[in-house]
Amino acid sequence: MNKRRIGSKYEDIAACFLKNEGVMIIDRNYRNRYGEIDIVGRKDGYFIFFEVKYRKDEAAGNPAEAVDVKKQYRISRVADHFRIYRKLKDSDNVRFDVISIMGSRIEWYKNAFDYIPAR
Protein backbone atom coordinates (compact mmCIF):
# COMPACT_ATOMS: atom_id res chain seq x y z
CA MET A 1 0.00 0.00 0.00
CA ASN A 2 1.42 3.41 -0.93
CA LYS A 3 1.72 6.31 1.51
CA ARG A 4 -1.26 8.19 0.06
CA ARG A 5 -3.53 5.17 0.53
CA ILE A 6 -2.24 4.53 4.04
CA GLY A 7 -2.78 8.19 4.94
CA SER A 8 -6.29 8.12 3.53
CA LYS A 9 -7.12 4.94 5.47
CA TYR A 10 -6.03 6.45 8.79
CA GLU A 11 -7.73 9.78 8.05
CA ASP A 12 -10.95 7.75 7.58
CA ILE A 13 -10.34 6.08 10.95
CA ALA A 14 -9.68 9.48 12.57
CA ALA A 15 -12.85 10.97 11.03
CA CYS A 16 -14.92 8.06 12.36
CA PHE A 17 -13.32 8.48 15.81
CA LEU A 18 -14.06 12.22 15.79
CA LYS A 19 -17.69 11.72 14.74
CA ASN A 20 -18.10 9.30 17.65
CA GLU A 21 -16.66 12.02 19.91
CA GLY A 22 -19.31 14.49 18.73
CA VAL A 23 -17.28 16.42 16.13
CA MET A 24 -19.21 17.57 13.08
CA ILE A 25 -16.91 17.04 10.09
CA ILE A 26 -17.06 20.10 7.81
CA ASP A 27 -14.34 19.27 5.29
CA ARG A 28 -11.61 16.74 4.58
CA ASN A 29 -8.34 17.16 2.72
CA TYR A 30 -8.83 20.90 2.28
CA ARG A 31 -5.99 22.05 0.01
CA ASN A 32 -4.50 25.20 -1.35
CA ARG A 33 -1.04 26.21 -2.56
CA TYR A 34 0.33 26.23 1.00
CA GLY A 35 -0.62 22.65 1.79
CA GLU A 36 -3.46 20.62 3.20
CA ILE A 37 -5.53 20.25 6.33
CA ASP A 38 -6.59 16.65 6.87
CA ILE A 39 -9.90 17.30 8.64
CA VAL A 40 -11.86 20.42 9.53
CA GLY A 41 -14.52 19.97 12.18
CA ARG A 42 -16.75 21.84 14.55
CA LYS A 43 -17.46 21.13 18.21
CA ASP A 44 -18.32 23.16 21.30
CA GLY A 45 -18.28 26.46 19.40
CA TYR A 46 -14.84 25.87 17.81
CA PHE A 47 -13.78 25.35 14.25
CA ILE A 48 -11.06 22.73 14.65
CA PHE A 49 -8.28 22.07 12.16
CA PHE A 50 -7.03 18.49 12.59
CA GLU A 51 -3.71 17.06 11.50
CA VAL A 52 -3.72 13.26 11.44
CA LYS A 53 -0.44 11.39 11.94
CA TYR A 54 0.04 7.62 11.85
CA ARG A 55 2.91 5.32 12.78
CA LYS A 56 2.62 1.54 12.83
CA ASP A 57 4.92 1.30 15.87
CA GLU A 58 7.30 3.31 18.06
CA ALA A 59 10.31 2.79 15.77
CA ALA A 60 9.65 6.11 14.00
CA GLY A 61 8.70 7.94 17.21
CA ASN A 62 5.47 9.46 18.43
CA PRO A 63 3.29 10.51 15.47
CA ALA A 64 2.30 13.80 17.13
CA GLU A 65 5.96 14.87 17.27
CA ALA A 66 6.00 14.93 13.46
CA VAL A 67 3.88 18.09 13.56
CA ASP A 68 6.87 20.41 13.82
CA VAL A 69 6.91 24.22 13.64
CA LYS A 70 7.27 24.17 9.84
CA LYS A 71 4.18 21.97 9.53
CA GLN A 72 2.31 24.16 12.05
CA TYR A 73 3.12 27.23 9.96
CA ARG A 74 1.81 25.54 6.81
CA ILE A 75 -1.38 24.44 8.54
CA SER A 76 -1.88 28.00 9.82
CA ARG A 77 -1.63 29.33 6.25
CA VAL A 78 -4.13 26.80 4.92
CA ALA A 79 -6.44 27.63 7.84
CA ASP A 80 -6.23 31.33 6.90
CA HIS A 81 -7.37 30.47 3.38
CA PHE A 82 -10.14 28.22 4.68
CA ARG A 83 -11.44 30.97 6.98
CA ILE A 84 -11.56 33.45 4.08
CA TYR A 85 -13.06 30.93 1.63
CA ARG A 86 -15.77 29.88 4.11
CA LYS A 87 -16.34 33.49 5.23
CA LEU A 88 -15.62 32.81 8.89
CA LYS A 89 -15.63 35.84 11.17
CA ASP A 90 -12.59 37.00 13.10
CA SER A 91 -14.64 36.37 16.23
CA ASP A 92 -15.14 32.67 15.36
CA ASN A 93 -13.16 30.43 17.70
CA VAL A 94 -10.55 28.22 16.04
CA ARG A 95 -8.01 25.75 17.33
CA PHE A 96 -5.47 23.29 16.03
CA ASP A 97 -5.61 19.67 17.16
CA VAL A 98 -3.59 16.58 16.32
CA ILE A 99 -4.91 13.05 16.02
CA SER A 100 -2.08 10.60 16.67
CA ILE A 101 -2.54 6.98 15.64
CA MET A 102 0.07 4.44 16.65
CA GLY A 103 -0.90 0.92 15.71
CA SER A 104 -4.51 0.77 16.87
CA ARG A 105 -4.19 3.39 19.65
CA ILE A 106 -5.73 6.81 18.92
CA GLU A 107 -4.85 9.93 20.93
CA TRP A 108 -6.50 13.31 20.49
CA TYR A 109 -4.25 16.25 21.37
CA LYS A 110 -6.62 19.18 21.82
CA ASN A 111 -5.18 22.66 21.24
CA ALA A 112 -1.93 20.96 20.20
CA PHE A 113 -0.38 24.15 18.88
CA ASP A 114 -1.07 27.85 18.53
CA TYR A 115 -1.77 29.70 15.33
CA ILE A 116 1.44 31.01 13.74
CA PRO A 117 0.94 34.40 12.05
CA ALA A 118 2.15 34.94 8.48
CA ARG A 119 5.61 36.40 8.19
Residue 4 reports pLDDT greater than 80: no
Is residue 5 within 8 A of residue 92, CB to CB? The reply is no
How many angstroms separate the CA atoms of 47 and 24, rounded?
A: 10
Mean pLDDT score across all residues of the chain: 92
How many angstroms separate the CA atoms of 92 and 80, rounded?
A: 12
Please give the average per-residue pLDDT across 49-69, as a whole number: 87
pLDDT, residue 1, reads 61
What structural domains and CATH numbers belong to the chain? 3-113 (3.40.1350.10)
How many angstroms separate the CA atoms of 29 and 92, rounded?
A: 21
Please give the average per-residue pLDDT across 2-31, as a whole number: 92
Helix (H) or strand (E) segment spanning residue 32: strand 24-32
pLDDT, residue 104, reads 87
| pLDDT tens by residue, 19-58 | 999 999 999 999 999 999 999 999 999 999 999 999 887 7
Residue 2 reports pLDDT greater than 80: no
Confidence of residue 78 (pLDDT cuts 50, 70, 90): very high
Closest CA to 52 of 84, 118, 100, 103: 100
Query: By percentage, how much of the chain surpasses pLDDT 90?
Result: 76
